[in-house]
Amino acid sequence: MMFWSITRIFARRIQCQNFSLKKKWLGTASSQFASKDKVPSGVYMPGAGEGDYNVKEILLKDFAENKERGTESIEEDDQICPKESDIVILGGGIVGSSIAYFLKNRVQNSMNVTVVERDPTYSRASTCLSVGGLRQQFSLPENIQLSQFSATFFRKIKEHLSILGEEPPDIQFQPCSYLFLATSETSAENIFKQQRLQKELGAKVEILTKRQLQEKFPYMNFSDILIGSIGLENEGYFDPWLLLAAMRAKAVSLGVKYVRGEVTGFRFKDHQMAKPDGSGMFMNQKKLDMVDVKLEDGNHHPIKFAACVNAAGCWSGEIASMAGIGKGKGIQSVPLPVEPRKRYVYAVHCPDGPSLNFPMLIDYTGTYIRREGLSGHYICGVSPTEEEEPDISALDVDYEYFQHKIWPALANRVPAFNCLKVKSAWAGYYDYNYFDQNVIIGNHPFYKNMIFATGSSGHGIQHAPAIGNAVTELIVDGEFKTIDLKRLSFERILEGNTLKEEEIV
């Protein structure tokens, strides 16, 4: 198999022998593709299968391009934004940063990895507005396994994310069980079914009868409840900002370049590929070649890449559409089904509320509440119904929604919550996959050099470490190795196969 990045390194070497370019360019080229760099054996570049690229054509084009660019001030440009990067990650939230970390940690100097992020303050990113919960209690095996991977990662976070000479990261992980409640026989059956699967996969989850629930949580009202399900390990919450800061800092320390800029479009090129009819004939196909980035100074700057990863969270649908996904014919007519959906989080105070053994309570109404520290502070929320979905143009909060939707459910379950007070609130966007509310991970079937890692819809931060590892495997090994995530690829959308997760919060 011929690899794109090998080809390009090779091209540079030949170019050095054959063209007498300006010293400036050679300096930059050798720092980007240092001759000591080796592509690890078996490195797979997505979309670069045999016959996908005409090697000679790429070499010749590279010669011509590089010769031209020898006259430009590349050193200066590169300080802000590289002209090319083997992998460009679009979006530097927790998913993009996790991919950057896992990938760079694995490939080291043999590939350049660049992250394009428009807002280094992350003021509207889902990551920083999330409530940072981790649970094992899902209905899809893939989601359970993603959580298990992340739980192990969090346990060993100091090993993964420490940087020499700096304080090891502390994401302030607080163990806290999730408690799911069932009121009907159908929901109780579902809970039993899920618990069997969770146990099969090694998760420690226990079913509690009504009496056991009453004994364990005497301050709660279980009059309308049949059973509950509680996680015994690998559940809790952490500080999302601290996780993002640690992941990003580690990625940077390994050599990942973060560019502050906004993705505004793509440039394409034709490449020849064998016709699928086996005739041995070739046809021209469009391929993603460069991403246009609008820098802080307003200038647009293209970055050439071998593959890009669309990790722009709730905006990843927008970025896909910039590449024409959802706008063409056939496969290209199908959009990436990810969009922002606004979710409110209310911080409440109830001095007489439950304390240490209060779980992350998921009421059958979907209302959730958990402790925030130990002195009567909690955070809570609920996902609205389709009819209640709020306007997404601004991140303002609807306090009425708490009054009429959330508070009654809380007070019904924990009578002490009749006396709570809302102290503050915020809103954030779920990276909502309106097809089936699960992550979409893997190459686009037409633009094979765009990889999706998006759409987790409310469980993305806990799965980010596992997603980072999975995308790395896809790039380096050409397949998922640790967790088989094939069912979560874009193909399921083309085929109309929804993978429903029963436990969406």
Ligand X SMILES: Cc1cc2nc3c(=O)[nH]c(=O)nc-3n(C[C@H](O)[C@H](O)[C@H](O)COP(=O)(O)OP(=O)(O)OC[C@H]3O[C@@H](n4cnc5c(N)ncnc54)[C@H](O)[C@@H]3O)c2cc1C
Instruction: Determine if 96 is a binding residue for ligand X (CB under 6 A).
Output: yes
- Whole-angstrom Cα distance, residue 25 to residue 17? 14
Helix (H) or strand (E) holding 492: helix 491-495
- Whole-angstrom Cα distance, residue 304 to residue 88? 9
Instruction: Determine if 340 is a binding residue for ligand X (CB under 6 A).
Output: no
Which of 271, 343, 370, 492 is in the footprint of ligand X by CB under 6 A? Answer: 343
Instruction: Determine if 81 is a binding residue for ligand X (CB under 6 A).
Output: no
Instruction: Determine if 263 is a binding residue for ligand X (CB under 6 A).
Output: yes
# residues contacting ligand X (CB under 6 A): 40
Strands (E), 374-415: 377-381
Query: What interhelical angle do 240-254 and 460-476 show, nearest 10?
Result: 20
Instruction: Determine if 460 is a binding residue for ligand X (CB under 6 A).
Output: yes
Going 444 to 450 to 453 to 457, the CA torsion angle's sign is negative
Instruction: Determine if 337 is a binding residue for ligand X (CB under 6 A).
Output: no
Instruction: Determine if 345 is a binding residue for ligand X (CB under 6 A).
Output: yes
Going 129 to 236 to 437 to 325, the CA torsion angle's sign is positive
Which of 107, 125, 140, 179 is in the footprint of ligand X by CB under 6 A? Answer: 125
Which of 101, 430, 435, 490 is in the footprint of ligand X by CB under 6 A? Answer: 430
Instruction: Determine if 429 is a binding residue for ligand X (CB under 6 A).
Output: yes
Helix (H) or strand (E) holding 63: helix 55-69
Instruction: Determine if 376 is a binding residue for ligand X (CB under 6 A).
Output: no
Q: Are 439 and 145 contacting, i.e. CB atoms less than 8 angstroms apart?
A: no
Instruction: Determine if 15 is a binding residue for ligand X (CB under 6 A).
Output: no
The region of 3-11, 40-48, 121-129, 417-425 touching ligand X under the rule CB under 6 A is 121-129
Residues 297-336 binding ligand X (CB under 6 A) are 311-315, 319
Min dist. Cβ of residue 137 to ligand X (A): 12
Instruction: Determine if 142 is a binding residue for ligand X (CB under 6 A).
Output: no
Q: Are 383 and 366 contacting, i.e. CB atoms less than 8 angstroms apart?
A: yes
Structure tokens at 367: 């209302």
Min dist. Cβ of residue 448 to ligand X (A): 21
DSSP secondary structure code for residue 493 in this structure: H
Report the candidate in 369, 429, 451, 364 with the shortest Cα–Cα distance to residue 402: 369
Min dist. Cβ of residue 462 to ligand X (A): 3
- Whole-angstrom Cα distance, residue 402 to residue 421? 11
Which CB atom, from 3 or from 237, has the smaller least distance to ligand X?
237
Q: Residue numbers of the site for ligand X (CB under 6 A)?
A: 91-96, 116-119, 122, 125-127, 129-133, 262-263, 311-315, 319, 343, 345, 428-431, 454, 456, 458-462
